[in-house]
């Protein structure tokens, strides 16, 4: 009888743990959705000033974290088809926000990379300033030790996400 109660308690603990994880996952999903909506709205006027869409803005911000990316790498990261990315990049090329570059190393010299121009970097800097101003406002009353703890957890998550992105860009199935 005691063994059965112990197993039952373990089952309840597992259910509670799974329920708590599901709550965390739902919260993170809502958080990411809210952040994306807020960022898109915040950058709306800036995008209009530069004559670009939200998706094109996403390409510019993505390129700001890398030196350069191929169309295939951008396609994988945006999760859309290559034709859509090609149209986005063509518009950015026409606006002189990005430029094409070829591999300078001993790797495949046929690979064409997309990289930011100075004008594209100016858009990124303007957008980062707007986002930093908003973050300062939102986080201003949260104690720095709580922000440090949050950052530490988010850095762990980010490291894991980067590993998954690398696997997916290498064509490795995640599940």
Task: Tell which CATH architecture fits domain 49-141.
Answer: Orthogonal Bundle (1.10)
Residue 99 tokens, joined:
């430029």
Dist CA 140 CA 136 (whole Å) = 6
Q: Tens digits of per-residue pLDDT, 116-152? A: 999 999 999 999 999 999 999 999 999 999 999 999 9
Dist CA 69 CA 76 (whole Å) = 11
Tokens 């970097």 belong to 121
Residue 40 contacts residue 33 (beta carbons within 8 Å): no
Q: Tens digits of per-residue pLDDT, 27-71? A: 989 998 998 899 889 999 999 999 999 999 999 999 999 889 999
Is the pLDDT confidence value at 5 over 60?
no
Q: Write out the chain in H/E/C secondary structure.
A: CHHHHHHHHHHHHHHHHHHHHHHHHHHHHHHHHHHHHHHHHHCHHHHHHHCCCHHHHHHHHHHHCCCCEEHHHHHHHHCCCHHHHHHHHHHHHHCCCEEEEECCCCCCCCCEEEEECHHHHHHHHHHHHHHHHHHHHHHCCCCHHHHHHHHHHHHHHHHHHHHHHHHHHCCCCCC
Q: pTM above the 0.85 mark?
A: no
Residue 60 contacts residue 116 (beta carbons within 8 Å): yes
């Amino acid at each position: 009888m005691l063994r059965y109660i112990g197993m039952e308690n373990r089952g309840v603990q597992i259910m509670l743990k799974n329920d708590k994880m599901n709550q965390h996952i739902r919260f993170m999903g809502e958080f990411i959705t809210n952040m994306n909506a807020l960022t898109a709205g915040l950058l709306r006027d800036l995008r209009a000033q530069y004559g670009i869409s939200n998706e094109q803005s996403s390409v510019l911000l993505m390129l700001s974290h890398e030196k350069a990316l191929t169309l295939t790498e951008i396609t994988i990261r945006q999760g859309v088809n290559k034709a859509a990315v090609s149209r986005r990049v063509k518009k950015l090329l026409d606006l002189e926000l990005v430029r094409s570059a070829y591999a300078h190393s001993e790797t495949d010299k046929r690979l064409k990379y997309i990289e930011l121009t100075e004008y594209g970097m100016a858009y990124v800097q303007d957008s980062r300033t707007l986002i930093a101003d908003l973050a300062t406002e939102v986080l201003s009353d949260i104690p720095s030790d709580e922000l440090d703890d949050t950052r530490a957890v988010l850095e762990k998550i980010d490291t894991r996400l980067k590993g998954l992105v690398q696997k997916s860009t290498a064509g490795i199935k995640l599940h």
